[in-house]
Amino acid sequence: MSTPPATPADERKEPQRAARFTYVGFDIEPAANRVVCRYRLDDTEFSEVVSFPGGGDWTTPAVTEAARILFLLTGVSYYKAGAPPVVDLGETALTETELAFLKSFYQDGLGEFAYRNGISLQDLEFETEILERTHSAQYRPRQNSPLVPFGGGVDSIVSVEQIRPHTQDAALFVVTRPGDEFDAIEEPAKVTGWPVVRAERSIDPTILRSRELGFLNGHVPVTGIISAITVLAAVLEGRDAVVLSNEWSASSATLHDNGRPVNHQFSKSETFEAGFRDVLAGALGDGLQYFSLLRALSEVWIAARFAEQPQYFDHFRSCNKAFLIDTTKRFDHWCGVCDKCAFIDLVLAPFVSKEDLQRIFRVAGEPLQKPELLETFRRLLGFVPDAKPWECVGDVSESRVAARAAAARPDRAGDQILQTLALAAGGYGDPAPEELLKPMSRHFVPERYQPEILRNAHE
């Protein structure tokens, strides 16, 4: 169900925080095909292992740079256990660009965590030496060999199908815990027909006992961490691009706290993407391109393209219950009641028949047919102030446009929820549906990988 809004940070007592978080160091272990990252929170030591079972070339300078960037971003998972006011980079020197990016990654990437825990991170202090970089690692990959992080949902499926005409040397990328696989990823991955490059992330078991040990807990910018892991995987394989599937609305704030945007999807935002690209350019040169193929495109456009790929209808899943760590609680079907199930149903409804959507949600039932979910949909459409779910869902304007377009379909004429939502949505000054089917913002997609809609925008 939807998560109710948290009490604003300035209305709650700040919890007990640690004093210092330290980046201890990282080790590259080529014989084991892994990187080990070590951190310290006051007197508590943490160690994270990221392994690459497929191996690769560990000898290049680019690997060391990519591993260092991975080390920098992965630390946020351990910092949040105590959220101290000081981050000590130890012997790891940063360029000015890297320091500015890392500050944003902590302050904005942990914006939801800070808000919901009643903490301010705006005075967070970073202790580090400034590195004067004279040259990059000059990474030189083979061309047209993209690596596409794949989650099995609508967005990454659309990226695969949009980029397919541009390369014969693409691969999917999947990160899991050692020995674990998610059916919600594996099933649609098989439908793509592409090979899968894998990494295994072993989070320190101490951090998994956060509640028991009294650590602070909450959301971290995991897409940023996955991005760094993907970059290292791409460098190991000599690939020329990391292709994300983050759309225009990922840059929209979930809410504003005293005028400051708080975005659940910060590490999917344009701000993160631009900053991370600058960091990679400084460290690796221009050999590796990192970008979101869908950056300029709306969820409505993405849904329309997904509707053209019916081979995935019985295999994709975006429900969080499909990704629970506890396999005994993991769903093998859509739960049909969470915010993500509701949003996916809503945004596909203008383009996918009611019959097909009822088949997709057949086990739990289609969300749009459940009167008890009306309030969930009202939050998705922004009818309740500052109540947008803390989830990866579209902008409220996209949801309102989708509701109106779906309600106009003949097969939805009798749908009470949709008709109610569409009537209420008519009072907002949202873009016309056709406007959401055009590029909405700038993007960083190289010409060789651009979908037709982006190429045509320049003509």
Whether residues 186 and 305 share a domain: the answer is no
Whether residues 286 and 358 share a domain: the answer is no
**Confidence (pLDDT) at 13:** 62
Residue 195 burial by Cβ neighbours in a 10 Å radius (0-12, 13-18, 19+)? exposed
Whether residues 241 and 287 share a domain: the answer is yes
Instruction: Say if CB 157 and CB 303 are below 8 A apart.
Output: no
- Residue 24's SS3 state is strand
d(CA 316, CA 159): 14
Tell me 180's DSSP state. Answer: -
Exposed e or buried b per residue across 308-343, where buried means at least 16 C-beta atoms within 10 angstroms of its C-beta: ebeebeebbbbbbbbbeeeeeeebebbbbbbbbbbb
Whether residues 188 and 304 share a domain: the answer is no
Q: How many helices (H) and strands (E) does the chain have?
A: 16, 12
Residue 191 lies in a domain: yes
**Confidence (pLDDT) at 291:** 98
Q: Which of 292, 318, 333 is the last residue of a domain?
A: 292
What's the CATH code of the domain at 284? 3.40.50
How many angstroms separate the first and last alpha carbons of the chain? 45
Structure tokens at 387: 């109540």
> Could you tell me where the DSSP H helices lie in 217-291?
222-237, 270-284
Question: pLDDT digit string (tens) for 210-268?
Answer: 889 999 999 999 999 999 999 999 999 999 999 999 999 999 988 889 889 999 999 99
Structure tokens at 320: 């969080």
Whether residues 56 and 174 share a domain: the answer is yes
Whether residues 169 and 80 share a domain: the answer is yes
How many residues are given for the chain? 459
**Confidence (pLDDT) at 3:** 47
Whether residues 322 and 236 share a domain: the answer is no
Angle CA 298–452–299, to nearest 5: 10
Whether residues 68 and 183 share a domain: the answer is yes
Whether residues 265 and 387 share a domain: the answer is no
Tell me 296's DSSP state. Answer: T
Instruction: Say if CB 17 and CB 65 are below 8 A apart.
Output: no
Which residue range is the domain that position 214 belongs to? 13-134+141-292
d(CA 325, CA 310): 29
Q: What is the DSSP pairing of strand 241-244 with strand 255-257?
A: unpaired
**Confidence (pLDDT) at 9:** 46
Tell me 292's DSSP state. Answer: E
Number of domains observed in the structure of the chain: 2
Token pair 């869908």: residue:
294
Whether residues 240 and 309 share a domain: the answer is no
> Could you tell me where the DSSP H helices lie in 260-369?
270-284, 299-306, 339-348, 354-360
Residue 5 lies in a domain: no
d(CA 281, CA 136): 8
Structure tokens at 312: 């995935």
Whether residues 286 and 315 share a domain: the answer is no
Question: Average pLDDT for consecutive 10-residue bins of the chain (459 residues)?
Answer: 47 78 98 98 97 96 97 98 97 95 97 95 94 84 97 97 96 95 95 98 93 92 98 98 96 89 95 98 95 97 97 94 87 94 97 97 96 95 87 93 96 94 90 91 95 81
Q: Which of 243, 268, 292 is the last residue of a domain?
A: 292
**Confidence (pLDDT) at 458:** 57
d(CA 324, CA 25): 30
If one counts every other C-beta atom within 10 angstroms of the C-beta of residue 10, the result is: 10
pTM of the model as a whole: 0.94
CA neighbor of 111 nearest in space, from 218, 268, 225, 2: 218
